[in-house]
Amino acid sequence: MGIEPDVISGDEEAALSFLGATADLVNDANPPEAPFLVVDIGGGSTEFVLGTTKPTAAISTNVGCVRMTERHLVSDPPTAEEIAAATADIEAAIDLAWLAVPVSQAHSLIGLAGSVTTVAALALGLSEYDSTAIHGSRISAADVHRVTQDLLAMTRADRAKLGPMHEGRIDVIGSGALVLDRIMARTGMTEVVVSERDILDGIARALVSNPS
């Protein structure tokens, strides 16, 4: 079709995701304090990016909500042994991330992607998914832990009845929440600032600021 794809590097991907996740939030009336640790919990991986206006350190680890569910959380609901095995995998990935990213420098934790936003919706007690209410919300570590424990104790049928739950997230939300819960425990952050923005928003902002 005459369109040349623009393949970006891992560093460029991290920079665009960071820009997308943080740009709106830093302009809020009560912005989170920099430097930021941006955590993107995906299906097969979780990205950790540290920075203020742009990334200074980043790493991708091979734990994500789909991967952890398929590898460990196979019962309905998951057993204590399955949860312990998933937790061990997540902790090992966090250990690896901490070697590459100086997490202690971060003053704020920003979380994005569906696992984080769904946990936020449940913590906020929303009857249905509401992006406006979720974006920029601040969810305490205690609420993240509570929601995680509730989700891991539920059957699939119970999770499907939750108002904010997207069909595609029913099977994997327990492991996604567990990843977030363990990250918060390890960072010692008292809250996570939730972003509905991602790499696509970062690309759009980059094109506007540098159209050439």
Q: Is 174 exposed, middle or buried (0-12, 13-18, 19+ CB in 10 A)?
A: buried
- d(CA 111, CA 22) in angstroms, rounded, equals 10
pLDDT at 207: 54
The pLDDT tens digits of the residues spanning 198-208 come to: 665 555 555 55
pTM of the model: 0.89
Q: What order do you get walking across the sheet with 191-195 strand by strand?
A: 55-61, 46-51, 36-41, 108-112, 191-195, 138-140
* Percent of the chain residues past pLDDT 70, beyond the cut: 86
Residue 211 structure tokens:
């159209």
pLDDT tens string 146-197 = 999 999 999 999 999 999 999 999 999 999 999 999 999 999 999 999 998 8
184 exposure class (CB count in 10 Å sphere: 0-12, 13-18, 19+): buried
20-72 pLDDT, tens digit each: 788 778 767 788 898 999 999 999 989 999 999 888 999 989 999 999 999 99
CB contact at 8 A, 59 and 47: yes
Q: Could you tell me the domains of the chain?
A: 10-203 (3.30.420.150)
Dihedral (CA of 57, 89, 134, 109) sign: negative
H or E segment to which residue 10 belongs = helix 10-26
For residues 87 and 43, give the distance between their C-alpha atoms in angstroms, rounded to a whole number.
16
